[in-house]
Structure 1
């Protein structure tokens, strides 16, 4: 039922629009451009992080953001949010499911394009071509060739875009956390810089396309009446001054 016909107003994803905006096109394009720019330096960066010269506090800080790009971490985080904010539970469950769907999309590419992870690559490798192992690595018995693109980064960026559509005031914070996840995957030698930029572009694109689907927009909507019911204390605070004035 249409929200106007039902007499209810809704809070929903503010960035979900039918037509792509300039930003929606520029961001993934810029990320893919950066991925291409990073390719010549992938081995240099990989060797730097393999040397373990990162300060311990920074390493620990970044490593603790990794669950934000992992399926279990997303389920725990958004599942907790759904329990705490029951009026918007459908929204959080939907965002979690869509973020995991973005991860599935990444796995399709991973299974199609083989690339050795930095931690599994010989330090003596001298050519970027040595990082690529060809098409369909699993068919060739190369189960460790899952570096491109970064699945954690894809999930983190997809979740950030989806959450930012509902909470635009937190957009920069959410994208910042997603960027930390991406950096962490390079720091722990799980991915090359080009892998994480490609993953970020993929996560952004998938989330943006999903947000344009009317069925998904409906799942992300939260009636304001339900929003108020989930915060009764705010009603009582507003009711007291009104009662005194009367």
Structure 2
């Protein structure tokens, strides 16, 4: 197990070191002073929001609470297009719920020893490995003095904390029975029930890995087109493993992924919004 752990660490660090080689990033000395409004670098074509970067300090910790409140309040500020997206998410969840039992039966009929071994290797990416990934990439950014990678890791960590808080709250109120203990996808219990059988909705594994995937896809996707493919590909495989292992209904997976995507996009877009207004510099100490 220890050998496997080190192999995964090397796997995580490889793309981190590759991203750290980008020489076009702003150096530490070129970051704006505290309280100054950042301006675009017309020589290197660097936008204001590409200059402002997080570091671990009291302001960063405070921003987690601020962004949690901002994310939770977003539905009260939705407009037409936002409600249309929400309708697609809810409608898709409804269709999946109608076929949840059939999906469960499909995976149960197609269990093999080889697939079981593969899913056992992928499943931890939705639990233990994602925090390790963030930590390894953060250390890589610090050691290589790549502020963009350091910032991206901190944004992923913040998004993960917020999405975890929201999904655990949802589990307290929506007590859906897991498919391992029931063939009825419409079996629910009363809120606050402590029975561990009723912890299916939404999928925490899928939410976790999708949150991390979205953070790096949003931050690095424009400069490195392979990042979203790799990140979302891994997130999709993780969700499939939870279906294969009969730990979640397909609608649990869909909502977990949707929630992780929504939270991370909201957090990152809020950061960019403050950056473009020139007000975000008050929240970062270079």
Same fold flag (TM > 0.5)? yes
Given the alignment of the two structures, is residue 203 of structure 1 paired with residue 260 of structure 2, yes or no? yes
Q: Distance in 2 between matches of 1:153 and 1:25?
A: 23
Q: 1:175 to 1:133 in 2, by over 3 A?
A: same
Q: Which residue of 2 aligns with 1:61?
A: 118
> Residue 73 of structure 1: which of 129, 134, 145 is its match?
129
2 CA distance for matches of 1:159 and 1:178? 9
Correspondence list, 1:1-246, <5 A: 1-4=36-39, 9=46, 11=50, 29-51=87-109, 53-70=110-127, 72-86=128-142, 87=146, 88-121=149-182, 125=183, 127-129=184-186, 131-138=187-194, 142-168=195-221, 169=225, 170-214=227-271
Q: Distance in 2 between matches of 1:216 and 1:180?
A: 32
Query: TM-score, with normalisation over the residues of structure 2?
Result: 0.61
Q: Which has the higher contact order (CA 8 A, sep 6+)?
A: 1
- How many pairs were matched up? 206
Alpha-carbon shift at residue 192 of structure 1 (Å): 0.3
Asked if the contact 1:149/1:195 (under 8 Å) is kept, the reply is: yes
Q: Distance in 1 between matches of 2:139 and 2:273?
A: 21
* TM-score normalised to structure 1 length: 0.70
Unaligned ranges ≥5, structure 1: 14-18, 227-246
Is this contact kept in 2: 1:115–1:134, CA < 8 A?
Answer: no
Rounded Cα–Cα distance in structure 2 between residues aligned with 1:207 and 1:25:
18
Report the Cα distance in structure 1 between the residues aligned to 2:273 and 2:215, rounded to whole angstroms: 11
In structure 2, distance between residues paired with 1:29 and 1:159: 24
Tell me if the contact between 1:28 and 1:205 (Cα under 8 Å) persists in the aligned partners: no
1:187-223 Cα offsets, whole Å, 9 max, x none, are 11110001101111111111121112238976x99xx
Larger Rg: 1
Q: Deviations over 1:35-68 (max 9, x none)?
A: 21111221222234345x3233333323322222
Name the stretch that deviates more: 176-185 or 40-49. 40-49
Helix, strand or coil for the counterpart of 1:144?
coil
Going from structure 1 to structure 2, the CA distance change for 1:35 and 1:74 (only over 3 Å counts) comes to same
**In the superposition, relative to structure 1, how do residues 180 and 26 fare at CA in structure 2: closer, same or farther (>3 Å)?**
farther
Change in 2 beyond 3 A, CA 1:41/1:155: same
Q: CA separation in 2, counterparts of 1:25 and 1:183?
A: 28
Residue 100 to residue 181, structure 1, CA distance change in 2 (3 Å): farther
CA RMSD after TM alignment = 3.4
